[in-house]
Structure 1
Amino acid sequence: MVEALKIPTTLAELEALGEEVTLRIPASFEEYLEWVDKCEFTIEYFNNEIVIMGNASYYHEKLVAEIIFCLKTIFNKVTGFSVLGSNIKIHIADLISPTDFNADVSVVQGNPKFVTLPSGKKSNSKITNPVLVAEVTSKSTIAHDFGDKLLAYKKIESLQYAIFVSQYQPFVTVYERKGIHHWELRDYTRLEDSFVLMGQQLTLAEIYKDIQFEK
């Protein structure tokens, strides 16, 4: 079923689709696992569909790099935290459909919990216990980020923060867990604004340092 739809597998095929495209292809989780190894780019799985996003822009990746730098800087002040890039998948088990997402940035406290694949092998590229995830939003991803991803992220028992950073203007949205089913939402829009992550303070000015906004 999946092969008949001719899923793109090479970077050239993905680039031909353009930056703003999103493909959703019905597939089983087992079919998705087969295609993960075939694709030269990142694919995700949600709601029994393979999700393929267009290539990230220069502005997106520069902002992701700044976020990683900021998080490594503040978490280097405390022990036991690891800051991870987008090649690590966040796996969320679900009775209806398992989920595999690539957060732009994630943070693990202590040892990572790796996923056991249907084959019985452990995957050292899929984790289940982030304490923080961060997404840089764009016109093509914002609905996916604040929709499918946020709903799935809130199911992660270990997660304490979900952060969404705009690449078009200073605008950061922070979801902080206050209880099992209680999340506090705060928006920050000024460069002098700051918020606290695991006891460490971070300002928008640090996140957006040297950032040229995409028009």
Structure 2
Amino acid sequence: MSAVPIPQFTPEEYLALERAADHRSELVNGEIYAMAGVSREHSLIVTNLGSALHTRLRGRPCETHLTDLRLSVPDTHLYTYPDALVICDEPHFVDEQFDTVTNPIALFEVLSPSTEAYDRGAKFAHYRRLPSLKYYILLSQAEPLVERYERQENNDWLLTELRGLDATLDLPALQVSIPLSDLYERIVFTESDSSLP
């Protein structure tokens, strides 16, 4: 019995399809995957994050984008939509459509049960191939918990865990500090939400 061939898409084919589509998909290892919807909590956290970043970066040569600006990792041909990204200086685009960037300094993902393993593993492996990337930030929906990965001078990544609404997310390269209470505004946590005892 022969295996059914798996369709492989080039970045150019993917971009042509994606630009004509009425929904968002990502390209991973030549395969196109539809992106799932998000919860109310996920949407609120992304909105809070975008507001906090925009306010703190106002008047500086940095841009904040939420969910709709496509990101390309040229080395691995990943095309995806981070929950938020920050670009400083001039954005680098893959082509003249100006809708797919390659040079974020910071990427943010709000963890969902269906994507958490991917965001922590394979997606982060793709993201680490971006020379411009200084920060990768994971935000939990289940509890006030933010994990900040920061690229070191030797190209290793240092993890700092921030837990509780009294904690503050510091991004020194951006000269930005955001209290977790701002990021989790209007989010109600219950004791059963926490994954830790």
Q: TM-score, with normalisation over the residues of structure 2?
A: 0.86
How do residues 63-212 of structure 1 correspond to structure 2 at under 5 angstroms?
63-76=45-58, 79-94=60-75, 97-116=76-95, 122-197=96-171, 198-212=174-188
Alignment deviations for residues 101-152 of structure 1 (CA, whole Å, 9 cap, x no partner): 1001000101101103xxxxx2311001111111111101111211221111
Query: What is the deviation of 1:71?
Result: 0.9
Equivalence for 1:15: none
Report the residue type matching 2:184 in the other structure: Y
Determine the C-alpha separation between the residues in 2 that align with 1:213 and 1:43.
31
Counterpart selection for 1:56 from 13, 34, 38: 38
Name stretches of at least 5 consecutive residues in structure 2 with no aligned partner.
none
- Confirm or deny: 8 A CA contact 2:137 2:146 kept in the other structure: yes
Report the residue type matching 1:140 in the other structure: S
Determine the C-alpha separation between the residues in 1 that align with 2:93 and 2:16.
19
Equivalence for 1:9: none
Determine the C-alpha separation between the residues in 1 that align with 2:125 and 2:97.
24
Determine the C-alpha separation between the residues in 1 that align with 2:13 and 2:90.
29
Determine the C-alpha separation between the residues in 1 that align with 2:14 and 2:188.
36
- Report the 3-state secondary structure (helix = DSSP H, G, I; strand = E; otherwise coil) of the residue aligned with 2:121: helix
Q: Give the number of aligned pairs.
A: 185
Report the residue type matching 1:90 in the other structure: L
State the Cα RMSD in Å. Answer: 2.1
Alignment deviations for residues 68-87 of structure 1 (CA, whole Å, 9 cap, x no partner): 011112212x5111111111
Determine the C-alpha separation between the residues in 2 that align with 1:63 and 1:85.
11
Q: TM-score, with normalisation over the residues of structure 1?
A: 0.79
Name stretches of at least 5 consecutive residues in structure 1 with no aligned partner.
6-24, 117-121
Determine the C-alpha separation between the residues in 2 that align with 1:109 and 1:26.
36
- Report the 3-state secondary structure (helix = DSSP H, G, I; strand = E; otherwise coil) of the residue aligned with 1:140: coil
Query: What is the deviation of 1:157?
Result: 0.6
Percent identity over the alignment? 29
Structure 1's 88 and 79: CA in aligned 2 closer, same or farther, altered over 3 A?
A: same
Determine the C-alpha separation between the residues in 2 that align with 1:47 and 1:213.
37
Determine the C-alpha separation between the residues in 2 that align with 1:134 and 1:112.
17
